[in-house]
Amino acid sequence: MGIEGLKAAAGRDLVSGRTHRPLLGAVLAIACAGVVALSGPVHAQAAEEWWQGFGFGYTDQSTQGEKPAKEVEPQNDLRTDGMPWRSDEMLVAIDKAMGLYQRIVSAGGWPQIPGNRSMRPNDDDERVPTLRKRLAATGDMKGGYTDSYSYDSDVVEGVRRFQARHGLRESGRVDRPTLAALNVSAQERLDQLRLNYQRVSELLQQQVDQRYVLVNVPAFQLEAVDNFNVEQRHRVIVGRPGRDTPTLRASIKAMNFFPFWRVPDSVAKLDLIPKLQKEPQYLAQEKIRIFQDNFNGMELDAAQIDWTQADYQKIKFKQDPGEQNALGLVRLDMPNSEGVYMHDTPMKPLFGQASRPFSAGCVRVQGVFELAEWLAKFEPGWGQPGRVQEVLSQGQALDVNLARAVPVFFTYITAWADQNGRVQFRADIYNRDGHQALSEVSDPDAPPPSAGLAP
């Protein structure tokens, strides 16, 4: 039975549309019972049929409409279906993926690709036959069992499919991040799926309104959900390792247009003061002012401060509103014990990177003005589209307190499956999944992790 069939069998509440939990459990049991583990080795000549039997949803290139690998495409990493991460349907999809990967593990896993050299289209490389087998193992290409050393168009398309499923830049070449992801073992991937099944289960146990926002940190994306359907998705930038974006639940209670940025002590100590020791003119360039003791204290003259001796506990930095402001033009206020929030950013080119852990812990949102419209659409005077742009065009600071606060989850989901059965993995950027092999290997095109002084 496919995922759609399982969803239908699970049943729906005709009013809320929510999947019935008791019946879902029975359906999951049926799904698990339907997975038959393979016993004994699989002969090479039968391998292609064996891999295809796993149901990974391989579609021939002619039906995919994919562009040739030589064309450089913009990053296109947002999920496209309406199924939320926090849903019973997602549990069903992950459960099915666990069954598929258990069969691979039981059959001996997939081959490791030796060496650390990159592989590029049109090259001849003695490792290409092994690469073909590895890609065939997870349904990313057909014909994995040939001795050809040629890195031909079939291999390119298989690599691109693999990269898309792992949140990697779809270059079609085996670069360092792609090679690292290819060499994660089948058992490690199965463990990752099991762990994330538990994470989604725990999310579902938290009672919340039908309307909420969820940020999946290692996937670098946000989804706005209403009535169990995803209505918006956005790329996000999250905290770099060591400045982790925390896992939490809070509520968005206000929107601050043209905000000041009150630089947190941690950012002042670790980022701003060291920068000023090398570039004292940075404050004037970025319209950052200095105050004694607190943000309402006496304003100080930056030229009179020895930055090699500056004490971040005795001075406070505040950045004026405007295009240069690290928060951009709007901040989404969500009070919480971690002191993090979501906001716009002037550093929009960073959204083009495949891997986006660049912040000091807060979450920067691409297309945040559309998200603000969604958050405020039930507020008096905000029901018509375009209200946010109207506020921005006026250029004046405005705080909008939401009468209907919107719950928000910051989550850590590194493995899942889509409605079409395609299994997805993301790098374990904060080393929380229990296997070193799952940790992040940086996007080779990314700027250094410290790019940008921002929350």
What value does the mean pLDDT take over residues 405-430? 96
Q: How far apart are CA 167 and CA 349, in angstroms?
A: 18
Question: What is the per-residue pLDDT across 121-138, written as a single tens digit (0 to 9) for each?
Answer: 998 999 999 999 999 999
As a whole-number percent, the residues of the chain with pLDDT over 70 amount to: 79
5-19, 176-190, 209-223, 338-352, range with the lowest pLDDT? 5-19
Mean pLDDT of the chain: 83
Whether 51 shows a pLDDT value over 60: the answer reads: no
Q: How far apart are CA 358 and CA 361, in angstroms?
A: 9
Whether 109 shows a pLDDT value over 50: the answer reads: yes
What value does the mean pLDDT take over residues 26-54? 34
What pLDDT is recorded for position 448? 56
What pLDDT is recorded for position 45? 36
Q: What is the pTM for the complete model shown?
A: 0.81
SS3 at position 236 = strand
Model confidence at 225, in pLDDT bands (50, 70, 90)? very high
Superfamily of domain 211-414: L,D-transpeptidase catalytic domain-like (2.40.440.10)
Query: Using the 8-state DSSP alphabet, how is residue 115 labeled?
Result: S
> 26 or 190: which carries more pLDDT confidence?
190
Contact 288, 263 (CB under 8 A): yes
- Return the closest-CA partner of residue 442 out of 247, 226, 180, 232: 180
SS3 at position 194 = helix
SS3 at position 250 = strand
What value does the mean pLDDT take over residues 63-80? 54
Task: Read off the amino acid at residue 213.
Answer: V
Domain 3-190 is found in CATH 1.10.101.10: yes
What pLDDT is recorded for position 455? 80
Q: How far apart are CA 110 and CA 146, in angstroms?
A: 15
| Strand residues in 227-311 grouped as ranges (E) | 229-239, 248-257, 261-262, 288-292, 299-300
Question: What is the per-residue pLDDT across 156-205, written as a single tens digit (0 to 9) for each?
Answer: 999 999 999 999 999 999 999 999 999 999 999 999 999 999 999 999 99
Question: What is the per-residue pLDDT across 247-259, written as a single tens digit (0 to 9) for each?
Answer: 999 999 999 999 9
Where do you find CATH 1.10.101.10 in the chain?
A: 3-190
Residue 8 CB partners (closer than 8 Å, separation 6+): none
What value does the mean pLDDT take over residues 23-41? 32
What pLDDT is recorded for position 212? 97
Q: How far apart are the first and last CA of the chain?
A: 46
Where do you find CATH 2.40.440.10 in the chain?
A: 211-414
Q: What percent of the chain is helix, strand and coil (3-state, nearest 5)?
A: 35, 20, 50
DSSP H/E element including 225: strand 221-226
Q: How far is CA 128 from CA 56, 110, 159, 259, 319, in A?
A: 22, 14, 11, 54, 53
Please tell me the number of Cα atoms within 13 Å of 123 on its side-chain side: 14
Task: Read off the amino acid at residue 428.
Answer: D
